[in-house]
Structure 1
């Protein structure tokens, strides 16, 4: 088996041939990925199901989302690759100059995937990197053993390793990879590990995209459609077993509608998962028994109004609602990353927003309201990666909108054209006519020349 160094050097040499910069190479890689996913759908469904995504809809999404991204990227790629013309100062236009922005790939790209989206969060970044003309080394998550095993088997069957390669391994393998001078690193995972990635990247001045997490608020004001808000927030907090970076971390509900919201949230849980969520095929497991125990330790039994049970051996924790939750409760200390929905009550929206702003900037935020002024205030006052109004989670599946964090929740963004542009360098080129000389630029300078230059640049 080739070492990480050997894989890296082979891709580096291949990139130097400029083959990956061609439209044909990029389309070929996208076609190969599409073929791999289509020809092995059932195997991928089974693998992610064994790992933890027992809900069939989530298995389908793991395969379907990258396929949609491939189709969209392929349909747009030729136009993305065209140089874009830049407006120029009048004097340059008058002397026949033109400005263009060319986009060139960075080079060998390391993509480190998390366990919670073992296909989506590994392949969607790969689609962006490939469409941008970069060879890719994929680092599969050691936590999703079945999915990673399948990727290690199939990637070499469908791709030349000098174009796309896959490796696995634990912390030691990650440390080994991060010693290499990659041209770009794309990481999805926790904030703490993101800091490690950023420090390693800094040694080689390697640009990065960091997709991290956060404690995502979902505000519900007194004008909201409470049954609708409760169902969407409960779904957002419990889908994927709550193991999703954009899941609502807590519901922040106005005191006048809090009791109604709790009642509707309990009703929504029952409608979606029934009396026994453990036996419901639409409810996924946790990634490990260790995670079950960690999340169970956050539950205050005195505040459980639904759920609260768990079985570490079965990697199961019931979808759970906690009410009334306080900011000082253990469950509010950081990102939960599990199927618990704490409900906090607020009286004044301005005070609520002040408290949210004291926390690290989240990856997502949501508001449920019918009041335009309230919505405008929410959007203007809070900094977060992205979110939705009267909806949860869905914004993270739209290829025409950038997905990314801010502050502790990450840096950089991708999806569609945004991914293409993030994984390429914008190279500005000024085209001058070969027979047109601007004499005012050259010495010896006279006052007339300086004054003329000043007119050009407006100083």
Structure 2
């Protein structure tokens, strides 16, 4: 079945129907209409699988997708146009340009933490670039997966865009079909497996992974805003966000005030009893819940720490006196637990960061522009914010992606279109005359080439 589906998609792509601008635009409008029509089922599915509130589901899933589609609709014709390239002297008489060519049949493998947003966002770029798409949603959010399948099959033919459900074995079967491009969002460990399997066919891949993204609160930071924005960035979706602040480095001079403010904002956002808050997101399953609860015994408990095993929820929790030797610092947390570490000099933080894998995001809080540049230019990470968290990912014109262990490739806005597009270089040579210097036996060829190098 999967082999037949991929063959049908490749046949449809080869027909050329997906390539014209008018077709691509019409499909983006269909995608927009699909999201609007299925808005209520999407919200209900997110509530059922993850207990996401309507506010959080709309702001972090649906709104982003509508903005992304609008960005593509507004600029697609410009992005598709061949890019003219200025010629050097050696190419006198030629016309050179870059064609924007779709790859073909593409595979998008989506995660469970933002199961609509992170499924459809890459699809927008893939369809805009003129490809066909097979979408594999996460099996850990089955209700959302079911809704995705139903809404896609309502609006699109399977030879163009379809959803394939299943366990990890299904994903492996899809990769084995020699796809033309693979886009994966998920953990670093699975990303390695995807890349290894794709290498059998030399299939190009984009890997959107994760890692331990730090937040640094310097001594001159606006502590109220730092605490407020870190609380929002960390505990949105119960910390199950690939770019959530994984831990905080806070300057020793402001640490106690920062911790007090952090607790205050947690209570402001989630109430005195978050486990009783009907809109507080749950942990996706028991396996992840059990993994996270093991971390609650480390360091000194500053805030939270309560759990609800039946509903797999964990209070927003802050742990102090954490070191790099703690188990919680070995892997990405991906849950509502925030370790606090202390520093005296920025040199310590920079040295620690250099020893770690490159994170997907980094957040610096401080007013000194020299220190801002020192951190953002001196450390390697996927992207980030100064005096905020998460907000860079919502900008439609900023490429989003990792580096090193946190991923490869980028998307959002034009970066999405570029990711799913092969840049094909073309030189159109004149026949009105012929440059003889390049041919063997040319009397002036060698002298001319040496002169160009002067």
TM-score (norm 1): 0.96
Partner of 2:288: 291
Secondary structure (helix, strand or coil) at the match of 1:204 reads coil
Give the 3-state SS of the residue equivalent to 2:43 in structure 1. Answer: helix
**Is the CA contact 1:54–1:281 (under 8 Å) kept in the aligned structure 2?**
no
Structure-2 residue corresponding to 1:27: 25
Question: Which ranges in structure 1 are unaligned for 5 or more consecutive residues?
Answer: none
- Does residue 450 (structure 1) correspond to residue 449 (structure 2)? The answer is no
Partner of 2:369: 372
1:256 aligns with 2:253: yes
2:85 corresponding residue in structure 1: 86
CA distance in 2, matches of 1:454, 1:15: 47
Alignment of 1:167-186 (within 5 A): 167-186=164-183
1:283 Cα offset (Å): 2.3
Conservation of the 8 A alpha-carbon contact between 2:270 and 2:280: yes
Of the three residues 314, 319, 322, the one matched with 1:322 is: 319
Which position in structure 1 is the counterpart of 2:74? 75
Q: Deviations over 1:209-234 (max 9, x none)?
A: 00001100000110101111011111
Q: Secondary structure at the match of 2:98?
A: strand
- Displacement of 1:75 in angstroms is 0.9
Asked if the contact 1:404/1:412 (under 8 Å) is kept, the reply is yes
Superposed CA deviations along residues 432-453 of structure 1, whole A, max 9, x for unmatched, are: 222121122223222x222123
How many pairs are equivalent? 453
Specify which of 332, 335, 350 is matched with residue 338 of structure 1.
Answer: 335
* Partner in structure 1 of residue 241 of structure 2: 244
* One of 191, 198, 203 as aligned partner of 2:200: 203
The answer on whether the counterparts of 2:128 and 2:417 sit within 8 Å (CA) in structure 1 is yes
Alignment partners' CA distance in 2, 1:301 and 1:55: 30
Q: Matched residues in 2 for 1:403 and 1:22: separation?
A: 27
Q: Does structure 1 residue 419 correspond to structure 2 residue 425?
A: no
The 1-side partners of 2:451 and 2:45 are apart by 67
| Aligned-residue offset at 1:135 | 0.3
Aligned to 1:16: 14
Gap regions ≥5 residues in structure 2: none
Residues 38-57 of structure 1 mapped to structure 2, 5 A cutoff: 38-57=36-55
Instruction: Give the corresponding residue for 1:221.
Output: 218
Please state whether the residue corresponding to 1:203 is helix, strand or coil. Answer: coil
Identify which range, 319-328 or 177-186, moves more after superposition. 319-328
Counterpart-to-counterpart distance in 2, 1:385 and 1:60:
25
Preserved CA contact (<8 Å) 1:234 1:341:
no
* Residues 288-324 of structure 1: CA deviation (Å, up to 9, x unaligned): 1222221111112661111101112112110001112
* C-alpha separation in 2, matches of 1:54 and 1:120: 13
Distance in 1, Cα, partners of 2:106 & 2:51: 28
Offset, 1:99: 1.5
Write the distance in 1 (CA, Å) between the matches of 2:342 and 2:262: 14
Tell me whether 1:403 sits opposite 2:406 in the alignment: no
CA contact (8 A) 2:51 2:279 kept: no
Deviation at 1:454, TM superposition (A): 3.2
Cα root mean square deviation, aligned: 1.3
Give the TM-score of the pair, scaled to structure 2.
0.97
Query: Which residues in structure 2 correspond to 1:338-357 (within 5 Å)?
Result: 338-357=335-354
Contact kept in structure 2, 1:57 and 1:282, CA below 8 Å = no
In structure 2, what is the Cα distance between the partners aligned to 1:339 and 1:328? Answer: 20
Q: Describe the SS at the equivalent of 2:6.
A: helix
Contact 1:218 1:252 in 2 (8 A): yes
Decide whether the 8 Å contact of 1:107 with 1:183 is kept in 2. Answer: yes
Match of 2:422, SS?
A: strand
Q: Alignment partner of 1:314: what SS? A: coil
Q: 1:346 to 1:179 in 2, by over 3 A?
A: same
* Residues 428, 326 of structure 1: alpha-carbon distance in 2 compared, 3 angstrom cutoff: same
Instruction: Name the SS of the counterpart of 2:426 in structure 1.
Output: strand
